[in-house]
Amino acid sequence: MRALVDIRESLNIAVSAIWANKARGVLTTLGIVIGIVAVTTTMTAFNGMQSAFRQSAAAVGADVVYVSRMPWIIMGNWWEFRNRPNLNMDEAEALREAFEGEAIVNPTMDTRQDLKYRSEIMEGVTVIGTTEKLPIVTSRLPETGRFLMTYDVSYKKNVVVIGTTVAEGLFGTTSPINKEMNIGPAKFRVIGVMEKQGGNTFGGPDFDRQVFIPISTYVKVYGGRHFGDVDIAVKAPSPDAVEDLEYEVIGEMRKIRKLRPAEDNDFSINKLDSLMGAFNSVVGVVLLVGLLVTSIALFVGGIGVMNIMFVSVTERTREIGIRKAIGARRHSILLQFLLESAIICLIGGLIGIGLATLVTFGINASGMMPASVSPGILVTSVVIAMVVGVFAGFVPAWKGARLDPIEALRYE
């Protein structure tokens, strides 16, 4: 009961003290506002990149090992990889046989082609030649129609499954299913439209601006059976098995390529982890910059608040004396000033998250990187602001609480 009455009174005093010095309070919060904008924006950027990453992670598949000529993320000298031979369909076939009944192997090849439907043209769209196994590997499915089937691949059918951006671009509002369209030199019949993937992953591929055709048809139309650059996806039976699978795939590939023990791999193994590395390095920079700006701004802001609180305590020395003379304990005085600085910072924090939300929309609109606000982020930012307030207010509040009542009463 006593503590409650105490807190209410302290809150009362704090609010009326701030109200009495509105202009000063607003100026004081400036540093806090900047700091909170920085911390909130850092978090929304991180949040946005993380969800974008999660999206591409789903497309890549956590339990899939990719064999490619080049690593996805090139560390070191790019020239070292220059002389590697392409992976070709024969090698993909050999790998499929090696893992028969053990793991799903899906080859893909890709190129860029211009698409045309009647008078509509889309230039430089990614054309992916693959098999019916792609949905199993990447968990991407068609929204309408169907995906490729075994006989499409076996009989080199001229059928295509298109991404949503392509569907909108070429067909507008009419249904693309069963329409004939041109992909480069050849005609294809649309059999399905993929689900929308959304969110362009920080510079990564646009998953909605792709079309899928049977890989056999791909070779027939665009060539490259013996020299084309094939990517081979091998899906582990379970996520835990990825590591073992990676070693087996390397072993089989070395056998297929007849590498001697002393020779380095002349192919690369890619997995989600390699993307993770890239993600972490981008995120690391954002976090580092964000953290730096945030801590400087909050520090400067905190010093500002501390200064104002010293002024506030000094101005009210006599009041402190009066309160002590009629029975206020130290902690009541301490609480009064801690609440004052916490509330000043709370106001700064609220203004800060408001501005940060606008900044986040701005970042998204600019297309620089994905960013997204969440309630958790906003709450965290406000809590950080109040913690800064409590820290900044502590020394002045302590000074006030420790004042000798007689000296405080005598203060003019």
Q: Which residues bind another protein (CB under 8 A)?
A: 1-3, 5-6, 9, 16-17, 20, 318-319, 321-330, 332, 405-406, 409
In the bound state with another protein, the residue whose beta carbon lies nearer, of 122 and 322, is 322
Q: Residue 321 CB, nearest distance to another protein (Å)?
A: 8
Could you give the 3-state DSSP secondary structure of residue 226? Answer: coil
Q: Residue 315 CB, nearest distance to another protein (Å)?
A: 11
In the bound state with another protein, the residue whose beta carbon lies nearer, of 140 and 399, is 399
In the bound state with another protein, the residue whose beta carbon lies nearer, of 58 and 322, is 322
Pairing type for strands 159-162 and 186-194 reads parallel
In the bound state with another protein, the residue whose beta carbon lies nearer, of 253 and 408, is 408
CB-based contact 138:60 (threshold 8 Å): yes
Q: Residue 322 CB, nearest distance to another protein (Å)?
A: 5
CB atoms within 10 A of CB 266: 15
Gap between the Cα atoms of 243 and 60, Å rounded: 16
Q: What's the token pair of residue 323?
A: 């309160």
Q: Residue 405 CB, nearest distance to another protein (Å)?
A: 5
Q: At a CB cut-off of 8 Å and minimum separation 6, what does 197 contact?
A: 55, 59, 140, 163, 164, 207, 208
In the bound state with another protein, the residue whose beta carbon lies nearer, of 271 and 316, is 316
Q: Residue 291 CB, nearest distance to another protein (Å)?
A: 41
- Please report the sign of the dihedral spanned by the C-alpha atoms of residue 358, residue 197, residue 242, residue 229: negative
Q: Given 3-state DSSP classes, what are the helix, strand and coil percentages for the chain, each rounded to the nearest 5?
A: 60, 15, 25
CB-based contact 90:226 (threshold 8 Å): yes
Task: Classify residue 316 by its DSSP letter.
Answer: T
Q: Residue 408 CB, nearest distance to another protein (Å)?
A: 10
In the bound state with another protein, the residue whose beta carbon lies nearer, of 23 and 365, is 23
In the bound state with another protein, the residue whose beta carbon lies nearer, of 57 and 322, is 322
Return the exposure string of 322-341: e unless at least 16 CB atoms fall within 10 Å of the residue's CB, then b: ebbeeebeeebbbbbbbbbb
Gap between the Cα atoms of 181 and 276, Å rounded: 37
In the bound state with another protein, the residue whose beta carbon lies nearer, of 5 and 74, is 5
Residue 242 has, within 13 A of its CA and on its CB side, a CA count of 14
In the bound state with another protein, the residue whose beta carbon lies nearer, of 13 and 52, is 13
Largest CA distance in the chain: 101
